[in-house]
Chains A and B, each alone.
Chain A
Amino acid sequence: MSEPVTRENGQTIFPIDRSAPAPSFIIINGRVIDPANDTDDFLCVAVENGRIRSVTTHPPSNFSPEKTIDAKGKWVVPGLFDMHVHLREPGREDRETIETGTRAASAGGFTAVACMPNTTPALDEESKIRYVIQRGDESTCRIFPIGCITKNLDGQELSPMGEMVRAGARGVSDDGKSVRKSSLMRNALNYAKSFGIPVMCHCEDHDLSEGGHMNEGQVSTRLGVRGIPSISEEICVARDIMLAEYTGARIHICHVSTAGSVQIIREAKKRGVRVTAETCPHYIILSDESLLTYDTHKKMNPPLRTARDRTAVVAGLADGTIDVIASDHAPHVSEDKKDVEFDAASFGVIGLETMLGVVLTYLVHKDILLPVDMVEKMSLTPHKVLGTGGGTLSKGKPADITIIDPDAPWTVDSRRFFSKSRNTAFEGLSLTGFACTTILDGRVVFERSRR
């Protein structure tokens, strides 16, 4: 078993040792927030054999744990789940590996991630899904792979969804691009119904967005940068929703960034379409004004939109139109970001190690989301969308637990990240709140102290 990995700011990753029995312990004095059980109260969480033994008002009398964790002033929540990350392995291990990506996840308070299939090769068949799952078994975070909708993300032929689901894929997506052919997308939605999996839609009309590098708006006019109009996203959101409505399939709209998309999804939900949606921290707090210095660490796809879109996305989170917050963690080396001109820079930012802090600081502490809403959007709902059975502290469930210090002040410093990459949009940002303990299968995999 490998040694713990530490960072100067008090963070430690403890690689998991499954050969040793999981310790029994009890978490006391914490505010337990477990939306699946309608719980938000000061309770004791007892863990034994890697599973939740009980959640009770007082420590159970017939339980003598090896260890007691005092969670005074902290929140005890079902392990957080980031359902949209890019782990880059196989293929681009210079950007991230499954090991470094899952460490970053643990440090961010996540006990599970869903990884997108746009690796090299793409995750479009059973053996590749199995590879990721096997690597996940050795890591500090659960991995739920997403398979391709189309073979090699080419948009031409359906991937073998049945085989991939049998191997453990929890959904399908051609994330990074949309399936251009509406006829093929219709088939994909129909086909996915057999397996009960959602189709995760990257919504982009590529004819409208082609050649664009940032949101089309007055900022792109000033900068002389070719724009990606909001309608390129909205047209595809509308198409995929209409296809889902027509076929009765279940879809999940990835990384919602525009006011129009929020409205289209809101109306679809009212009609009863089986649609869920996610957005990302950068769409919650940033807008295209951040690009006035051509900062490539603010370049992602979909692009940062206008302040009006940002407000609408936040409103969509508050009223439940947007179900999930995910990071779209997209590692890139500096050769593809900081060292090149804006047009040549890759799209994408990392987010696993900053998402919880951003959501606490900008949504929970500002009373836009209740703590329980946050736990729903970052744990219970993503688990439901991908049908994992996780996201709760119910008795007998695997003890995946995140202990959050909601009031800890800290400053984003990418040099302290466990991720291999440094392309954060939030460098230097002051945040309040982080994960102080991450527990996977009843084993502490991450700890962070206030410094």
Chain B
Amino acid sequence: MALSIQHLLGLEGVSKEDIILILDTADGFYSILQRAIKQVPTLRGKTVVNLFYETSTRTRLSFELAEKRLSANPIGFTAQQSSVKKGENLRDTIRNIEAMKIDMVVVRHSSPGVPLFLTQVTDAVIVNAGDGSHEHPTQALLDMMTIRQKLGRLAGLKVAIVGDILHSRVARSNAWGMSAMGMDVTLCGPPTMLPQHPEGLPVKTTDNIDQAIQGADVVMLLRLQLERQGAGLFPSIREYRERYGLDLDKVAKLKPDVVIMHPGPINRGIELASNVADGPRSVILDQVTNGVAVRMAVLYLLGGGVEE
């Protein structure tokens, strides 16, 4: 089986079949991760550049682990500033890296569209690790993998994604991916953090959290970027927490087997109360584990790895 896509730029337009193949492959790698020796030789000899223009701890670590466990050679590239400020433009940077004979690029950048841009200037396989407010496809894939693991299926499940939807690449990737899988997705946040023109996305939006989470099989909280308060998007943390934070009172109204997710890092006591984050319905650490498996699957399927 092979994917119909050559790069993973986002989940918009990615078929259900491709998503299922990635998730099934990830389940296989998940089993490998339970073994004592967690490494397989499938990408031996392949060089993967982790091109991170934005700081990231867990996504970067997760990709590096995935690369190492596939026996690929990961090379790190971190730029604290955009290339323009550094004096070298993005095209030159990527052409220089490519000249060192690399096979794949995992890229994170604050500007949306950078992964697509890279496909236009290099022959390497590109994996999007988050581009601005656009997409973060491996996060959505690991979310779906986790949901499938916990609830046994995806189609027909009701999902509420709550928080700063406007700026969230996680929300966008999940909106496309979950819709492709036949899930019923509602994006929820204060009106200032919802897109003014939500009809660009294939899902519902609401500012009413009670409506969004009622009967939900999955509730996903997004990290609140605290600097948005200064930008006038919400008046105070207290008001945000009261309206959109998930605490035990709200959890009490949810289905008993609801799955509670968060892409991390959590603002404890803001979008997610500590006793909910650490409670029995939380799958946050499973998401992290599955992240490695999903990224192994993506790199393996796109990197032309060979079966052992």
Contacts and interface: CB of A to CB of B under 8 A. Distances in A.
Interface in B63-105: 82-84, 89-92
A341 B172 CA distance: 20
Interface in B95-148: 109-114, 116-117, 131-135
A221 B200 contact: yes
A224 B133 contact: yes
A220 interface: yes
A342 B90 CA distance: 11
A344 B196 contact: no
Interface residues of A, number: 23
Contacts of B82: 341, 344
Contacts of B41: none
B197 A217 contact: yes
Contacts of B112: 223-225, 294, 342-343
Contact of B198 (A221, A225, A340, A344): A221
Contact of A339 (B89, B116, B134): B89
Interface string A218-251: 1111111111010000000000000000000000
A293 B119 CA distance: 11
Contacts of B198: 218, 221
A294 B89 contact: no
Contacts of B20: none
Given A341-B111, A343-B132, A218 B117 contact: no
A335 interface: yes
A220 to B, nearest CB: 7
Chain B interface residue number, banded: 20 to 34
A405 interface: no
Interface string B171-203: 010000000000000000000000111111100
A229 B111 contact: no
Nearest to B131: A224
A175 interface: no
B262 interface: no
A219 B111 contact: no
A224 B132 contact: yes
A340 B195 contact: no
A111 B197 CA distance: 43
B12 interface: yes
A216 interface: yes
B117 A216 contact: no
A221 B132 CA distance: 12
A221 B134 CA distance: 8
B158 interface: no
B197 to A, nearest CB: 5
A343 to B, nearest CB: 4
A341 B134 contact: no
B110 A343 contact: yes
Contact of B117 (A220, A294, A335): A294
A294 B9 CA distance: 13
Contacts of B223: none
B89 A218 contact: no
Contact of B90 (A216, A293, A340): A340
Contacts of B90: 339-341, 344
Contact of B92 (A221, A339, A341): A339
A289 B113 CA distance: 15
B111 A342 contact: yes
A342 B89 CA distance: 12
Contacts of A335: 89
B46 interface: no
B89 A340 contact: yes
Name the residue in A219, A222, A294 with the highest tally of chain B Cβ atoms < 10 Å from its Cβ: A222
A306 to B, nearest CB: 9
A438 to B, nearest CB: 37
B12 to A, nearest CB: 7
Contacts of B83: 340-341, 344
A301 B185 CA distance: 35
A29 B12 CA distance: 57
B295 interface: no
A344 B111 contact: yes
A107 to B, nearest CB: 29
Given A341-B113, A342-B112, A344-B84, A224 B172 contact: yes
B169 interface: yes
A219 B112 CA distance: 13
A216 B196 contact: yes
Contact of A224 (B92, B134, B196, B199): B134
Contacts of B116: 293-294
A216 B197 CA distance: 8
A342 B91 CA distance: 12
Nearest to A343: B111
Contact of B197 (A221, A339, A344): A221
A224 B198 CA distance: 11
A24 B162 CA distance: 77
Contacts of B199: 218, 221
B65 to A, nearest CB: 27
Interface in A277-309: 293-294
A310 to B, nearest CB: 16
Contacts of B12: 222
A220 B91 CA distance: 23
Contacts of A221: 195-201
Given A340-B89, A341-B113, A222 B201 contact: yes
Interface in B157-177: 169, 172
A216 B133 CA distance: 14
Nearest to A226: B133
A296 B112 CA distance: 12
Contacts of A339: 89-92
A250 B196 CA distance: 35
A422 to B, nearest CB: 15
A342 B199 CA distance: 23
B197 A342 contact: no
B197 A224 contact: no
B284 to A, nearest CB: 24
A227 B195 CA distance: 10
A341 B109 contact: yes
Contacts of A225: 112-113, 132-134
Contacts of B89: 335, 339-340, 344
A333 B78 CA distance: 27
The 3 closest A-B pairs by CB, nearest first: A218-B200, A224-B134, A294-B113
Interface of B: 12, 82-84, 89-92, 109-114, 116-117, 131-135, 169, 172, 195-201
Interface of A: 216-227, 229, 293-294, 335, 338-344
Given A222-B12, A222-B200, 5 more contacts: A222-B172, A223-B134, A340-B89, A342-B111, A342-B112
11 contacts: A217-B200, A220-B197, A221-B199, A223-B134, A229-B196, A339-B89, A339-B90, A340-B90, A342-B114, A343-B110, A344-B111
